[in-house]
């Protein structure tokens, strides 16, 4: 039995399978990478921990999962990863999660509710604000149903308008290059 999250992961995996290089973390992004790699065995997956070209047969438990190190092409130090790989524009796309996102590309990974008295305080953006301007494409998957909102509770960062932006949910796929996102008619 598949869930709505499984549907979104399958859709996102199909989108990013068309690229040559993909930057991911763990959780939903790691699961998408497994789908994408099964569709495109030539895809090079780069984990935020610096693991490059790992052989993916199942989702990693963490960005430092021992299985990733055992079956990878290379392990880059953090400065090399950010300066040479991301800064050198060698990575085409990334998958990022979001607690909330609006259709203008504002992403919230900080708090639900007001900042001073939130209903929930979240882990934050990690490296997403630094990574997203260095990519040609960004795929966002909300972490739960109903997280596409009219206006996010807190703007952690905004997706750049000069890159491809995909918003993937169990209910559909939105795509934009610039301006307002539109519902994509199909997954490429």
Active site residues: 48
Among 50, 41, 45, CA closest to 33: 45
Contact 96, 147 (CB under 8 A): no
- Positive or negative, the CA dihedral 141, 67, 77, 43 is negative
As to burial, measured by CB atoms within 10 angstroms (0-12 exposed, 13-18 middle, 19+ buried), residue 156 is: buried
How far apart CA 18 and CA 89 sit, in angstroms, is 17
CA atoms within 13 A on the CB side of 14: 11
């Amino acid at each position: 039995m598949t869930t709505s999250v499984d549907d979104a992961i399958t859709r996102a995996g199909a989108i990013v399978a068309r690229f040559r290089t993909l930057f991911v973390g763990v959780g939903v992004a790691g699961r998408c990478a497994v789908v994408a790699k099964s569709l495109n065995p030539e895809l090079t997956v780069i984990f935020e921990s610096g693991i490059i070209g790992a052989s993916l047969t199942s989702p990693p438990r963490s960005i430092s999962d021992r299985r990733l190190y055992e079956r990878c092409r290379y392990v880059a130090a953090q400065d090399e990863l950010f300066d040479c790989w991301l800064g050198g524009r060698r990575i085409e796309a990334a998958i990022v999660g979001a607690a909330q996102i609006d259709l203008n590309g504002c992403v919230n990974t900080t708090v639900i509710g007001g900042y001073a008295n939130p209903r929930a305080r979240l882990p934050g953006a990690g490296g997403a604000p630094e990574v997203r301007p260095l990519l040609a494409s960004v795929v966002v998957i909300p972490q739960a149903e109903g997280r596409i909102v009219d206006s996010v509770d807190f703007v952690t960062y905004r997706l750049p308008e000069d890159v491809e932006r995909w918003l993937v949910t169990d209910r559909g796929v939105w795509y934009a290059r610039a301006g307002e996102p539109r519902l994509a008619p199909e997954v490429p």
